């Protein structure tokens, strides 16, 4: 062993910064999670703050915020899963049916663009289009109905707008992986199906979909791992005093309670609760995928 | 070959084309409208609802925003963070990926385990903030570069890429008296230019677009990058429409008009649209490399 260490000495010099990075910025915070079980006082520090067991968690679970946050987070996550997740698969299947390759590439080029645009720009564009103060969408609405709709400051419109933004921003990018899986389908299968008299729907149903099933399952598992992540930046940027009752999710709550109000321990407890549920979801989804005879992610 | 030109097929194709083209237009037209609007005047925006080419060409909005020192400064900050941050990302990612690509390295599996576990579980916002704070990085640009110096996902892709390179090159270099650092620098990095370009662009876009980092770690308005200033411009104008009581405030600043908002958005977006053609050349390859392994 010592010999190997000595032989690879330069390798360890190279790897040192990376390992230090993971220890400092990934593993120290994991250890810091312990303040969720403390009454952390910044002037006392981690070592001298009082341990309080699960008091922070209890306080969170019985607080009126808990149900509201839980509902908001779950509803947005659920909408993401049922409305946003299938769209890239459908778009990829549709793109795959286009034979004019110039058109196909042109459409792809256009739909990928929003992926590279910052959330600040996406939300700012939403403001410009939807504002009641001269936004184009609201001018249209006013021409048709005679009054404006407060899209940005209304409780009812918050979720639809978030979903539209997400579809707009993520669809193009997510199609790449599905399209890649589609190029792997053996063309002979289609020829055989045509000989057997299968139409395009039948081909889609019996050849294309089964061929990309494992890719979809993997994407689904990865998505479930982030089931409770509603995108901090997006929610933070879209929320305001008038829609906060539906906008607040775990991530934004952690920010407000922890960094704005300075309740570090309590906010960490909320964050930890979320992380633990997320892990359970990934592991569970992976197990389920394996039980149904699919490859998991590990 | 597959049969396409049955009557059903033609209807299918037409629908397919129409829906996809409509979707593509929905993603692109907002950008064009914003850019066209930014070169136009408020009067035109009010009278013509939607247009892609302004009739009254005007640079007033740009003159206005560039007369504002804070915005120009923030562009400088964003460029600095993007350039230095990307170099930091690449340095950390490459130097770690290379030893990890060597199966004979003692402790390799343990380190890989460490990396993969960090993808599953993280300390979260507050403990990470405390580490950054305890290191004295608050209000320093390092707080925007170091906490995200390596993306575990990218690291694993680069590691797998290095693993595929032929071992013989390295043996030859060793005989010529090269140590590992020399091998990485003279052989591996030149051979992996496409993948370095891919990740450089990904990391750079991430830095340019970063909003959460400065929100958490940079309190000094003098040091804010472009995205934060952009947010301010739009929020300021929005606040005015949310509550008119602001107008009674003696310190109230006239909210930027639509064209100014649009010009600011364009400034935040145009650099990305300029590098996009380069991005596009590489990113499909990069994502595919990733998806094959994931």
pLDDT in tens, B164-218: 888 777 778 878 777 888 888 888 888 888 888 888 988 999 999 999 999 999 9
Q: Give A123's contacts in chain B (Cβ within 8 Å).
A: 234
Residue B292 pLDDT greater than 50, yes or no? no
* Percent of chain A at pLDDT exceeding 70: 98
Least CB–CB distance from A121: residue in B26, B268, B279? B268
Taking CB atoms and an 8 Å limit, are B31 and A113 in contact across chains?
A: yes
B211 contacts A119? CB cut-off 8 A: yes
Tokens of B37: 């609007």
Count CB neighbours of A251 within 10 A.
Answer: 24
Nearest-Cα distance to chain A for B67, in Å, is: 21
The pLDDT-based confidence of B48 (bands split at 50, 70, 90) is: confident
Q: Quote the pTM value.
A: 0.88
Q: Determine the distance in angstroms separating the CA of B98 from the nearest CA of chain A, rounded to an integer.
A: 8
Name every chain A residue with its beta carbon within 8 A of the beta carbon of B50. Answer: 136
pLDDT interval class at B241 (50, 70, 90): low
Q: Which two tokens stand for residue A233?
A: 């930046």
Q: Which residues of A touch B91 (CB under 8 A)?
A: 17
* pLDDT recorded at residue B293: 44
List all residues of chain A from 200 to 259 with a beta carbon under 8 Å from chain B: 200, 203, 215, 218, 222, 225, 232-233, 236-237, 240-242, 251, 254-255, 258-259
Q: Work out the mean pLDDT of chain B and round it to a whole number.
A: 84
- Are the beta carbons of B106 and A1 separated by less than 8 Å? yes
Residue B126, pLDDT > 90, answer: yes
Question: CA-based Rg of chain B, rounded to a whole angstrom?
Answer: 25
Own/partner pairs for A154-159, CB < 8 Å, 24+ apart? A154/A242, A154/A243, A155/A242, A155/A243, A155/A245, A155/A246, A158/A238, A158/A239, A158/A243, A158/A246, A158/A247, A159/A75, A159/A76, A159/A79, A159/A246
Look at residue A232 and tell me whether its pLDDT is greater than 80: yes
Asked whether the predicted pLDDT for residue A242 surpasses 80, the reply is yes
Distance of CA A280 to the CA centre of its chain: 16
- Cβ A27–B215 below 8 Å, yes or no? no
| Average pLDDT rounded to a whole number, residues B49-56 | 80
CB contact under 8 A, A124 and B26: no
């Amino acid at each position: 062993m010592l010999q190997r260490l000595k032989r690879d000495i330069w390798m360890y010099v190279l790897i040192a910064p990376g390992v230090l990075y993971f220890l400092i910025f990934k593993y120290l915070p994991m250890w810091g999670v312990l303040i969720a079980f403390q009454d952390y006082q910044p002037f006392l520090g981690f070592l001298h703050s009082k341990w309080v067991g699960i008091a922070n968690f209890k306080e969170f679970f019985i607080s009126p915020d808990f149900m509201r946050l839980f509902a908001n987070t779950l509803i947005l996550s659920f909408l993401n899963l049922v409305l946003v997740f299938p769209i890239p698969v459908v778009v990829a299947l549709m793109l795959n049916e286009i034979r004019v390759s110039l058109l196909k590439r042109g459409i792809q080029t256009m739909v990928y663009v929003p992926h590279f645009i910052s959330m600040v720009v996406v939300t700012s564009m939403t403001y410009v289009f939807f504002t009641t103060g001269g936004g184009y969408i609201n001018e249209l609405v006013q021409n048709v109905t005679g009054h404006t709709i407060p899209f940005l400051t209304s409780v009812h419109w918050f979720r639809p707008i978030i979903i539209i933004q997400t579809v707009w921003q993520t669809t193009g990018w997510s199609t790449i992986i599905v399209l890649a899986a589609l190029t792997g389908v053996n063309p002979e299968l289609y020829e055989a199906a045509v000989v057997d008299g299968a139409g395009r729907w039948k081909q889609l149903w019996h050849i294309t979909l089964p061929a990309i099933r494992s890719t979809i399952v993997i994407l689904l598992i990865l998505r479930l791992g982030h089931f409770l992540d509603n995108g901090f930046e997006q929610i933070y940027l879209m929320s305001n005093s008038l829609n906060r009752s539906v906008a607040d999710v775990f991530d934004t709550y952690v920010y407000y309670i922890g960094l704005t109000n300075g309740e570090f321990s309590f906010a960490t407890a909320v964050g930890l609760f979320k992380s633990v549920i997320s892990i359970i979801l990934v592991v569970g989804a992976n197990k389920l995928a394996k039980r149904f005879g699919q490859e998991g992610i590990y | 070959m597959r049969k396409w030109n049955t009557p059903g097929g033609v209807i299918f194709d037409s629908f397919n084309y129409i829906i996809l083209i409509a979707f593509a237009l929905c993603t692109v037209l907002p950008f064009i409208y914003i850019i066209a609007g930014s070169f136009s005047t408020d009067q035109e925006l009010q009278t013509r609802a939607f247009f892609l080419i302004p009739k009254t060409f005007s640079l007033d909005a740009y003159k206005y925003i560039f007369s504002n020192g804070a915005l120009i400064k923030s562009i400088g900050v964003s460029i600095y963070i993007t350039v230095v941050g990307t170099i930091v990302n690449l340095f950390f990612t490459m130097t770690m990926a290379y030893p990890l690509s060597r199966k004979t390295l003692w402790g390799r599996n343990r380190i890989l385990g460490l990396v993969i576990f960090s993808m599953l579980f993280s300390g979260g916002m507050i403990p990470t903030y405390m580490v950054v704070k305890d290191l004295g990085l608050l209000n320093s640009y390092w707080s925007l570069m170091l906490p995200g110096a390596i993306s575990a996902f990218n690291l694993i892709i680069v590691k797998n890429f290095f693993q595929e390179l032929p071992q013989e090159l390295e043996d030859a270099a060793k005989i010529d008296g090269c140590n590992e650092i020399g091998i990485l620098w003279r052989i591996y990095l030149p051979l992996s230019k496409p993948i370095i370009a891919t990740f450089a662009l990904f990391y750079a876009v991430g830095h340019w677009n970063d909003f959460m980092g400065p929100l958490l770690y940079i309190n000094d308005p003098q040091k804010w990058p472009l995205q934060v200033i952009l947010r301010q411009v739009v929020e300021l104008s929005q606040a005015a429409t949310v509550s008119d009581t602001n107008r009674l405030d003696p310190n109230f600043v006239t909210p930027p008009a639509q064209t100014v908002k649009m010009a600011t958005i364009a400034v935040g977006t145009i650099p990305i649209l300029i590098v996009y053609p380069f991005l596009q050349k590489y990113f499909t390859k990069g994502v595919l490399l990733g998806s094959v392994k994931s």
